[in-house]
Amino acid sequence: MDTNLARPQTIASPGQNSFADSLLNGLRKSSKEIACKYFYDEAGSRLFDAICDLPEYYQTRTEMALLARHAAEIAALMGDGAEIVEFGAGSLRKVRILLDAARNPRAYTPLDISGDYLRHVVRSLAADYPALILRPLVADFTLPLEIPHLPGADTPRAGFFPGSTIGNFKPDAAMALLRRMRATLGGGGLLIGVDLVKDPARLHAAYNDAAGITALFNKNLLVRANRELGADFDPDGFAHYAPYNAAAHRIEMYLVSLKRQSVTLCGQRFEFAQGEPVHTEDSHKYTIESFREMAARAGFNPRAVWTDQDRLFSVHWLESR
Ligand code: AVJ
């Protein structure tokens, strides 16, 4: 291959379902819900980027500073000639910090459900890292998946799962996901960003920003359903509601129906009572200790952990075996 401009390859997992199926199932439940992975169409991804730049959303800039500050140590832990596998390729700004510090990285394999996003990733990185093998894979990392090995000598893998995306999963599911990632990494370690338990007011502010961007991000699920599935949601008929559930250590996001209304979706009618919530996201927070405990139960050996002075966010290096 004389070019690293790979075309995103699709890895289908059994049981993969569509936005339509998932939405219909979620709205049929007695407690209505929409799966949070559907936030990230093009408009949603742009809104999420805007969230990351909000003054209240400390997560992104704190994690980036931690990655930059400890890049050399992280690179040493990742080892020589590794294949960096990113689960849910989010911000290119983050992986560039790793790629710039890494020792002779052989390949970068971003996994994402959006093929469009992956094409963008490849185009953006190819010119700056000409020696790097780019292997964008369209895949849902929440489902079991096997990544084919690179040809030639055994290339060690290093996983990268930044942004505290792990927080979207309930603890049992998070542990199961960590187990699957460990299997995918085949003995390689995992670098993972985890948001920390803190003053509830600070957490509340991060998900209830003054500019209302998080509200738009939440309501984009309805806008997307209207555009892609021909639904007739009135986005103004729902309120963004994101309380911190201190007992469960998580932010919970809902769209709350502001009136009694009905919505038609794929030829089916759904009734919403006034005040009825539709659950759209959980964002679990951990202590450094509680996260390391969970990682250990998932079969990892928690090694290094880095945090900022205010203990807002943490980055962990988990070894396999
Ligand atoms: C991308 C899942 C880490 O939970 O903080 C941001 C998503 N939701 N604001 C988070 C999100 C509302 C974000 N994660």
For residue 115, how far is its CA from the centre of ligand 1 (angstroms)? 21
Q: What is the pLDDT of residue 57?
A: 98
Kindly give the number of the ligand 1 atom that is closest to the alpha carbon of 242: 12
CB 189 within 8 Å of CB 305:
no
Band (pLDDT 50/70/90 cuts) for residue 91 is confident
Burial class (CB in 10 A: 0-12, 13-18, 19+), 231: buried
For residue 297, how far is its CA from the centre of ligand 1 (angstroms)? 25
* Residues 97-144: tens digit of each pLDDT: 999 999 999 999 999 877 887 888 888 899 999 999 999 998 888 888
Q: What is the pLDDT of residue 305?
A: 98
For residue 228, how far is its CA from the centre of ligand 1 (angstroms)? 23
User: Nearest 5 degrees, angle CA 144-CA 147-CA 152?
Assistant: 160
Pick the residue with more confidence: 40 or 239?
Answer: 239
DSSP track, 243-266: -EETTTTEEEEEEEESS-EEEEET
Cβ neighbours of residue 70 under 8 Å, at least 6 residues apart? 306, 315
Kindly give the number of the ligand 1 atom that is closest to the alpha carbon of 164: 3
Burial class (CB in 10 A: 0-12, 13-18, 19+), 12: exposed
In this prediction the pTM is 0.93
Identify the bridge partners of residue 192 per DSSP, sorted by sequence position.
Answer: 161, 316
Q: In a mutational test of the pocket of ligand 1, which residue from 48, 203, 241, 285 has the highest number of ligand atoms less than 8 Å from its CB? A: 48
Q: In a mutational test of the pocket of ligand 1, which residue from 249, 281, 285 has the highest number of ligand atoms less than 8 Å from its CB? A: 281
DSSP track, 159-200: EEE-TTGGGGS-HHHHHHHHHHHHHHHTT--EEEEEEBP--H
| In the chain, % of residues over pLDDT 70 | 95
Q: What is the pLDDT of residue 302?
A: 98
Pick the residue with more confidence: 141 or 89?
Answer: 141
Nearest Cα neighbor of 193 from 227, 225, 165, 158 is 165
Pick the residue with more confidence: 123 or 311?
Answer: 311
List ligand 1's pocket residues with C-beta within 6 A.
51, 59, 163-165, 167-168, 207, 214, 281, 283
Average pLDDT for 257-286: 97
Q: What is the pLDDT of residue 1?
A: 44
Q: What is the pLDDT of residue 85?
A: 96
Average pLDDT for 65-74: 98
Q: What is the pLDDT of residue 2?
A: 40
Enumerate long-range contacts of 124-127, CB under 8 Å, 24 or more apart.
124/92, 125/92, 125/96, 125/99, 126/3, 126/4, 126/5
pLDDT at 5 over 70: no
Band (pLDDT 50/70/90 cuts) for residue 29 is very high
For residue 283, how far is its CA from the centre of ligand 1 (angstroms)? 7
DSSP track, 47-89: HHHHHHTSSS-HHHHHHHHHHHHTHHHHHHHH-BTPEEEEES-
Q: Going by CA atoms, what residue is nearest to atom 5 of ligand 1? A: 283
pLDDT at 176 over 80: yes
Average pLDDT for 157-181: 97
Kindly give the number of the ligand 1 atom that is closest to the alpha carbon of 48: 6
Average pLDDT for 30-57: 94
Q: Going by CA atoms, what residue is nearest to atom 2 of ligand 1? A: 165
For residue 53, how far is its CA from the centre of ligand 1 (angstroms)? 13
164: left (phi over 0), alpha (psi -120 to 50) or beta: left
For residue 236, how far is its CA from the centre of ligand 1 (angstroms)? 22
